[in-house]
Structure 1
Amino acid sequence: MVGNCPPNPQRTSASGYKTIDGRGAKVEIAYGPCITIQQVTNVIVHGISIHDCKPAKYGMVRSSTTHVGHRKGSDGDAIAISGSSHIWIDHCYLASCTDGLIDVIHASTGITISNNYFTQHVKVMLLGHNDNFVQDVNMKVTVAFNHFGPGLVERMPRVRRGYAHVANNRYDKWIMYAIGGSADPTIFSEGNYFIASDKSNSKEVTKREVKGGWNNWRWRTSKDVFKNGAYFVPSGYGSVDLPYSSAQRFTVAPGNMVPSLTADAGPLNCNRNLPCY
């Protein structure tokens, strides 16, 4: 099933507490504006393929049973999360869109991006609206068990503010850099598996999008595995311990286990009424 949305759909806005579940079917969203999750909470997107998303003009969107208003057009992201909380993007395939594959902006928090397969894209994942949007300092995002596959250039993720826990992901030969940031974010890279490309100028995992002044930014690496000359430049002082309760935490495996942990990244092979594998 392929979704090709018209340029100006009059869609009913979700009120939260929703699941988009592609298990047991082949679901693709492509060739138009794709998914926007805006000002809602408790949404799950699972088991779908999103690719070749295009920008769209603004349209009239129903945000409640009594209100229809203008909504800014899509930038061509696969999934845009804005002003939302407790969002889970899991076991999806994302590739080849006009803008980002996943953007998390406007003080969204409690976001989990897990078990996805990313490929063939330039600006993969952006966390933060812009460097001057200070409300994003409260952002908390977990990026875990994803496979960042071939043909990816940068932003896996790029973090502007807030806290990012990047754990047990596989990175295959990025073209520019893997993990970046620009406005004093806290980044904890834990138990990842980094394979650098053969190009001598693409070995560094990290990139600060400023010329200087980042020495106090808290960027740490723990239990990561670095292959083919890959290396991580840490910085800052003080703890980068996870800002979650003990009930919200998960055990991060050492990086050498990541190839097996990410082997089923992307949509699972599922049949109705049977376990997925």
Structure 2
Amino acid sequence: MASHSLSLLLLSLLLTLALVSSSSVQDPDLVVQDVHRSINASRRNLAYLSCGTGNPIDDCWRCDSNWEQNRQRLADCAIGFGKNALGGRNGQIYVVTDSGDDDAVNPKPGTLRHAVIQDEPLWIIFKRDMVIQLKQELVMNSFKTIDGRGTSVHIAGGPCITIHKVSNIIVHGIHIHDCKQGGNAIIRDSPQHAGHWQVSDGDGVSIFAAKDIWVDHCSLSNCNDGLIDAIHGSTAITISNNYMTHHDKVMLLGHNDAYTEDKNMQVTIAFNHFGEGLVQRMPRCRHGYFHVVNNDYTHWEMYAIGGSASPTINSQGNRFLAPDLRFRKEVTKHEDAPESEWKNWNWRSEGDLMLNGAYFRQSGAGASSTYARASSLSARPASFVGAMTTTAEAPLGASAGAASAAGVVVAAGPAAAGPGDSPSGAGGEEISCSGASAEGVGADTTEGVAAGVAAVGAEALGDDAGVAALGAAATGDGEALGDTDGAAEGGRAVTVAAATAKMRARATNWRAIVEINYKG
């Protein structure tokens, strides 16, 4: 009993260490000053922000049972270097009603593509569970939030998300997987502009020359290139609470060794679960400053954290479970340089929990002051990582259409006009897109999309559950969504349910193994 009370007391004390972040300024020293100011302010506001899970992002919004009535409060819950990402805060709510993507130049109102290219801030939510197979990469405009809470939304089987030379983006609660190359095509990126895009890499989330970015509570797997890549001077980024599986080169931060504009890059990687089927780059860093804190590493085949070109890597409070392979126990990999060079790179491990023979090869000066620019929040003890990363994934979806039931406004705006045309409904006018859903369902029944959905179900699961999902996607079940949107959407719902249930089962199984190893 005394031990239990002591544990509760310790947890209470730890909850007073609120996680904080920097501003989006380019000078890393100014960022550090902002971090310290934020730490003090967060501690003063602890009683309001925390409800006892230890994960400050979840504690910030999940404590409120009526969070759907104030979705935009999520923007106040960001931590780390991407803390200042506003997303679509203070903008209208845009409800995506159509999972189609028939036209990358003139997208239909009610589609995700139409939502993300608008000029004004928008908080984008979804009417129901969806599988969205994009024809071209989804090029986002600034000040947008993609919020999948309350539904199960998959972006899969085609090109995925591109955040290119914009700012203030939040991507939350989306399943992103089986992403393919796209491009060599005309794609609209705003109501006034559409241009030619070269062939993309096939990343899950591609961040290029962008800042103030927050990717949170997403599930990512099996993409053509990286799951999340940030390059070309991108900075002020937080990657948190994500569940990543079944991929080789997971995360690249920094374009190449010669691209010195990445020297001021600052990225926080916190509360993520790096799960089964991962090989390397969790992350792979170049130049810049990287805070890797309170993550759960349950799988890697080559290494977990690597880098080149003298990045500063601050690893704190993570849990590393090494693979059984004898020569794969090392967490780190210093790349593209002899030891005489990389021994001066500033890499440290502080408070990390090493299991099954895992070890972190430290290098550099070792003084705490060296890591000031790579410090964005207060780390919790690594022994709490399992509890703090329990929700590290996209949601399974609670109630399709819950957003509409909560009384939000469908504010879709007009169809994208040609270059130079002024969109009607500007200035905050609310425009209903109630007719878009029926049209979108018809588009979903096209042969290419139906085949893509079936392939996603089979490839993502790769077993009997995948075969079942494939059958469901092929035959359809009009009652699966609880409405009459048609067989194609019903099949999609079955595929979504099977895929997300499998993800949850895998996560639970491997967490149990890690807990047994730790306690044993």
Once the two structures are superposed, residues 1-47 of structure 1 have per-residue CA deviations (whole angstroms, 9 ceiling, x without a partner) of 1111125x7x7x53311100101111001111000011111100000
Q: Could you tell me how far apart the structure 1 residues matched to 2:385 and 2:370 are?
A: 22
Letter matched to residue 149 of structure 1: G
**220, 235, 242: which is aligned to 2:363?**
235
Q: Distance in 1 between matches of 2:275 and 2:174?
A: 17
Q: Which residue of 2 aligns with 1:14?
A: 140
Q: In percent, how many aligned pairs have the same letter?
A: 53
2:131 aligned with 1:2: yes
Give the aligned partner of residue 255 of structure 1: 382
Aligned-partner Cα distance in 2 for 1:144–1:102: 14
Residue 226 of structure 1 aligns with which residue?
354
In 2, Cα distance between equivalents of 1:173 and 1:93? 16
Secondary structure at 1:180 match in 2: strand
Q: Matches of 1:167 and 1:185 in 2, distance apart?
A: 16
The correspondence for 2:155, drawn from 3, 25, 29, is 29
Letter in 1 for 2:371: D
Q: Post-superposition shift, 1:244? A: 7.6
What's the offset of the Cα at 1:68?
Answer: 2.5
Q: Which amino acid aligns with 1:227?
A: L
Distance 2:191 2:390 in 1: 43
**Residues 123 and 155 in structure 1, CA contact (< 8 A), matched pair in contact too:** yes
Partner of 1:264: 391
* Cross-structure match for 2:345: 217
Shift of 1:100: 0.5
Once structures 1 and 2 are overlaid, which stretch shifts more, 176-185 or 61-70?
61-70
From 272, 284, 295, the equivalent of 1:146 is 272
Deviation at 1:78, TM superposition (A): 0.5
Q: Quick one: distance in 1 between partners of 2:374 and 2:349?
A: 18
Aligned to 1:176: 302
Distance 1:254 1:240, change over 3 A: farther
Counterparts of 1:185-200 in structure 2, within 5 Å, are 185-200=311-326
Q: Return 61-70 or 123-132, whichever deviates more.
A: 61-70
1:94 partnered with 2:227? no
Q: SS of the residue aligned with 1:25?
A: coil
Partners of 2:226 and 2:184 lie apart in 1 by: 18
Pair 227,244 (structure 1): closer, same or farther in 2 beyond 3 Å: closer
Task: Confirm or deny: 8 A CA contact 2:140 2:162 kept in the other structure.
Answer: no
Q: Which amino acid in the other structure matches residue 133 of structure 2?
A: N
Contact 1:165-1:242 within 8 A present in 2 as well: no
In 2: Cα distance, 1:15 partner to 1:215 partner: 41
Aligned 8 A contact 1:188 1:240 in 2: no
* CA–CA distance in structure 1, aligned partners of residues 316 and 269 of structure 2: 10
Kept in 2, the 8 Å contact 1:154–1:178? The answer is yes
**Aligned partners of 1:220 and 1:240 also within 8 Å:** no
Residue among 244, 252, 258 paired with 1:132: 258
Query: 5+ unaligned residues in a row in structure 2: which ranges?
Result: 1-129, 406-520
Residue number in structure 1 paired with 2:473: none
Q: Is the 8 A contact 2:312 2:371 kept in 1?
A: no
**Which secondary structure state, in structure 1, belongs to the residue aligned with residue 236 of structure 2?**
strand
Q: Residue 5 of structure 1 aligns to which amino acid in structure 2?
A: L
CA distance in 2, matches of 1:63, 1:47: 23
Q: Tell me which amino acid in the other structure corresponds to 1:241.
A: Y
Name the TM-score, length of structure 2 as normaliser: 0.50
Q: Does 1:45 align with 2:196?
A: no
Give yes or no for contact 2:157–2:180 (8 Å, CA) kept in 1. yes
Report the number of matched residues. Answer: 268
Q: TM-score, normalised by structure 1?
A: 0.92
Query: By percentage of residues, which structure has more strand?
Result: 1
Unaligned regions of 5+ residues in structure 1, if any?
none
Higher helix residue share: 2
2:236 maps to which of 104, 110, 118: 110
- Residue 60 of structure 1 is matched in structure 2 by 186
Q: Which deviates more, 179-188 or 231-240?
A: 231-240
Aligned residue identity for 1:221: S
Aligned residues: CA RMSD: 1.8
For the residue of structure 2 that corresponds to 1:243, the secondary structure is helix
SS in structure 2 of the partner of residue 235 of structure 1: coil
Amino acid in structure 2 at the alignment position of 1:236: G
Q: Partner of 1:100: helix, strand, or coil?
A: coil
Residue 236 of structure 1 aligns to a residue whose secondary structure is: coil
Q: Note the C-alpha offset of 1:256.
A: 1.0
What is the aligned partner in structure 2 of residue 162 from structure 1?
288
For structure 1, which segment, 265-274 or 233-242, has the greater mean C-alpha deviation from structure 2 after superposition?
A: 265-274
| Residue in structure 2 matched with residue 120 of structure 1 by the alignment | 246
- Alignment-mate amino acid for residue 6 of structure 1: K
- Please give the alpha-carbon distance, in whole angstroms, between the structure 1 residues aligned to 2:188 and 2:182: 17
Distance, in Å, in 2 between the alignment partners of 1:215 and 1:18 is 42
Q: Tell me, what secondary structure is at the counterpart of 1:113? A: strand
